[in-house]
Amino acid sequence: MSVLPTLPTILIFVLLIFFASTLGTWIILKCARKYGWVAKPNRRSSHKVPTPRGGGIAIALTFLGALIILWAAGLISKPLALAFLGGGAMVTLVSFIDDRRNVHVGIRLVVQFVAVAWALFFIGDMTKMNLGWRFWHLDFFTHLVPLGMVWMINMY
């Protein structure tokens, strides 16, 4: 029998995750400034001045750690945990390497599609969505889901 956490427990967990990712980001950005891990502006950049790189690794690692805690506590299913942990770890790794060494866009896209395929494999059937009162059949839209997921990865 699974015991659901109380609202105060959830809020404390969310605050701990927030503070852990904030502290981790601060530490990474301090190192980035010290060691010159910066993105220099170019024609595709959204920034105009050199900007520290790599802060996202703290957020990603905190998220992956939180997933492990939720899975261990029985609050998320094993397939969902494996979907996010495997896919998230792949994207985190290639993104961190890209921040340090500029990974070719083709390699990044391959890793992102593999991560999405991994996640979808563990999530399972996506041809229908439970709306609570009925199922919405998504046969056509399921073909667009992998592209949408890779697009979202690239947005962030």
The mean per-residue pLDDT over the stretch 38-50 comes to 81
Contact 58, 24 (CB under 8 A): yes
Residues 6+ positions from 79 with CB-CB distance below 8 Å: 122, 123, 124
Q: What is the pTM of this model?
A: 0.79
Tens of pLDDT, residue by residue over 78-96, are 999 999 999 999 999 999 9
Distance CA 107, CA 92 (A): 14
Residue 68 has pLDDT above 90, yes or no: yes
Pick from 90, 146, 139, 140: nearest CA to 116: 146
